A and B are shown apart, each in its own frame.
Chain A
Amino acid sequence: MAEAEKIEVRDITRIERIGAHSHIRGLGLDDVLEARAVSQGMVGQKDARRAAGVVTQMVREGKIAGRCILLAGEPSTGKTAIAVGMAQALGTETPFTSMSGSEIYSLEMSKTEALSQALRKSIGVRIKEETEIIEGEVVEIQIERPATGTGQKMGKVTLKTTEMETNYDLGNKIIECFMKEKIHAGDVITIDKASGKVNKLGRSFTRARDYDATGAQARFVQCPEGELQKRKEVVHTVTLHEIDVINSRTHGFLALFSGDTGEIKQEVRDQINNKVLEWREEGKAEINPGVLFIDEVHMLDIECFSFLNRALESDMAPVVVMATNRGITRIRGTNYRSPHGIPIDLLDRMIIIRTVAYSEKEVKEILKIRCEEEDCVMHPDALTILTRIATDTSLRYAIQLITTANLVCRRRKAAEVNTEDVKKVYSLFLDENRSSKILKEYQDDYMFSEITEHDGDESVAGGGAKRRMESSGDAQPMEH
């Protein structure tokens, strides 16, 4: 008993981490899908946002599936931001899966398995649950026990809502349920008609003064309104992948919790496809194709691309949105070069949305939004300097400086970040340009500076980074 009283009831508040794109709430479009200049965390990129808005609208209406959309543009021009915006605009109803191209390279799973899991995660199946419940406040409950202790029990319960009241005779099983749930007069309960499950919602407010002391867990609720026997319909959206996991026998439901699903057999998938199609025929399910977003799509290799080509032709395929920041480059796994590092045949099926570099004004707007997101009050002068830094180096670097400058500012117990703080963190943390400059200068002092084969000709060309750019996106640093 003493143990039970120790249980603490604590309110759980969800703390959301501030991520790189957490300030984005949607695509920032108006009713006719025209992009507003600054809205929902989105700035600039009007054309791209409009295009994404059109796609989102079509997905929402279920008009397109099995299509590909490519977001192409230079680094930090808001490709991922647009994808996040699309996800937000689609809402919770439509499944949106986000993955990075390199995620498919895992030791435990083949590439195609990872891809098909991602594809199936992006297809929702809408199903409906219908239950008849009896919901009411217990006015009176009588249970007669036979004197011998065992044998049939008899019971009667009177339930009421604000409008009506009725008696129920109770059978043996349901009495057991009542006793298990410890139901007394004054409790508000629901009884599931099909399964006979009894659920206690809380105590009625009108009976709040029955006892002087109540336990910490006592919850008071209003007496239910309207009819006693209610019909409840709940529509759920589950993804195909979730149904897959349930039915892949070797792992069972534990896989859902551990997150490790392993490979799912093709037969299981086929069976589920058939079942879902059958449900659809009977009008019991709706298929709700969602969106799969693959970031850094140039990291996929030729096998994945041809797999995708095939997978998109299936009648249950989601819309695939890809993003890449590469120009004409080598397709991974081949010696051929292709625009965006994607084979021409796949590229042919795509709608390409281009993002363009942000103007200085837009950069300032983005930085302002980020400041708000990170609860950082910044002096206008500091913001101007930060904007300059962003245009000279990169937007990402400037955004990182916001966080650090805010910390420095808090150290000196000031309320507002001023130019000094920004200057200080600018000197403390190097951006990519300065860092590589220093590297070049002190190359000889670092260890192992002489090993690579290319080293000879690279030093002739003067500076690895620069040379790589000149030799047109051919080199992929991560290439095997």
Chain B
Amino acid sequence: MADSDLSKSIEIITKTEELADKILANKHELTIMDKRRQQTREALRIMMQKSQDQDEKVWITLGSMLIKMPRNKAIELLKKDQQQIEQQINLIYSEQKILVNKHRDMEFKSPFSGTNLKPLDQKEFAALKSNLPLL
């Protein structure tokens, strides 16, 4: 009896820790993704700002390679990258929500209320906010 109790609690603790680990890993991932997002943004910015000559070629790194490539193409590549990163971030955020609530469930806490809500429109919220001192 006592033995099965012990193994049961160990099992629960392991599961909780596993989940927690995953949440932390996701958090780290988010930071890395954001770093990449900012870098891409900076690169795009610089390319757009420099001379407007469309045919000029620019240096760009692909993996560990430095490649010279037409500006248009480079910008296109970067933009695609940006989109992908944005998608990835959204994915992690939604996964994170599920994980955190699962983790809370493991710890016998009720899930955070309203996690599955869609946010109100910015405009609507601004109207509410300007009139309600408590928000």
A226 touches B117 (CB 8 A): no
Binds A, one of B15-23, B36-44, B75-83: B36-44
Answer yes or no: A267 CB below 8 A from chain B CBs: no
The interface centre, meaning the residue of A169, A231, A236, A253 with most chain B CB atoms within 10 A of its CB, is A236
Which A residue's beta carbon lies closest to that of B129? Answer: A129
In the bound complex, residues from chain A placing their C-beta under 8 Å from that of B127 are 246
A128 touches B38 (CB 8 A): no
Main secondary structure of the interface of B (DSSP, over half): helix
In the bound complex, residues from chain B placing their C-beta under 8 Å from that of A164 are 31, 34-35, 38
Q: Which of B93-109 contact A (CB under 8 A)?
A: 93
Binding site for A on B (CB under 8 A): 27, 30-31, 33-35, 37-39, 41-42, 45, 49, 93, 112-120, 122, 125, 127-135
Answer yes or no: A296 CB below 8 A from chain B CBs: no
A228 touches B117 (CB 8 A): no
Q: 28 pairs across A/B with beta carbons < 8 Å?
A: A126-B117, A127-B114, A127-B125, A128-B114, A128-B119, A128-B120, A129-B125, A129-B129, A130-B119, A163-B31, A163-B35, A194-B122, A226-B30, A226-B34, A227-B31, A235-B115, A235-B117, A236-B135, A243-B128, A246-B127, A246-B131, A256-B131, A256-B132, A282-B118, A284-B117, A284-B120, A285-B120, A286-B114
A228 touches B133 (CB 8 A): no
A226 touches B114 (CB 8 A): no
In the bound complex, residues from chain A placing their C-beta under 8 Å from that of B42 are 166-167
Could you say which interface size class chain A belongs to? 20 to 34
Answer yes or no: A456 CB below 8 A from chain B CBs: no
Answer yes or no: A205 CB below 8 A from chain B CBs: no
In the bound complex, residues from chain B placing their C-beta under 8 Å from that of A167 are 42
In the bound complex, residues from chain A placing their C-beta under 8 Å from that of B38 are 164, 166, 228-229
Q: Which 9 A-B pairs have the closest CB atoms?
A: A227-B34, A130-B119, A235-B114, A166-B38, A128-B117, A253-B131, A246-B131, A164-B35, A227-B31
Which A residue's beta carbon lies closest to that of B38? Answer: A166
A226 touches B31 (CB 8 A): yes
Give Cα A129 to B113, complex, Å. 13
A227 touches B35 (CB 8 A): yes
Give Cα A164 to B35, complex, Å. 7
Answer yes or no: A238 CB below 8 A from chain B CBs: yes
Interface string of A11-25 (1 = CB under 8 A from B): 000000000000000
In the bound complex, residues from chain A placing their C-beta under 8 Å from that of B128 are 127, 238, 243, 246
In the bound complex, residues from chain B placing their C-beta under 8 Å from that of A279 are 120
A256 touches B133 (CB 8 A): yes
Which A residue's beta carbon lies closest to that of B122? Answer: A194
Q: Known contacts A93-B113, A226-B27, A238-B128; can you find 13 more A-B pairs with CB under 8 A? A: A127-B128, A128-B114, A163-B31, A195-B122, A227-B30, A227-B33, A228-B38, A229-B37, A236-B135, A238-B132, A257-B133, A284-B117, A286-B117
| CB of A114 to closest CB in B, whole Å | 22
Give Cα A315 to B84, complex, Å. 44
Give Cα A127 to B122, complex, Å. 12
In the bound complex, residues from chain B placing their C-beta under 8 Å from that of A285 are 117, 120
In the bound complex, residues from chain B placing their C-beta under 8 Å from that of A108 are none
In the bound complex, residues from chain B placing their C-beta under 8 Å from that of A284 are 117-120
Answer yes or no: A372 CB below 8 A from chain B CBs: no
Which A residue's beta carbon lies closest to that of B112? Answer: A235
A128 touches B39 (CB 8 A): no
Give Cα A453 to B57, complex, Å. 109
Q: Which of A204-260 contact B (CB under 8 A)?
A: 226-229, 231, 233, 235-236, 238, 242-243, 246, 253, 256-257
Give Cα A271 to B93, complex, Å. 34
Give Cα A242 to B135, complex, Å. 11
A126 touches B34 (CB 8 A): no
In the bound complex, residues from chain B placing their C-beta under 8 Å from that of A151 are none
| CB of A131 to closest CB in B, whole Å | 9
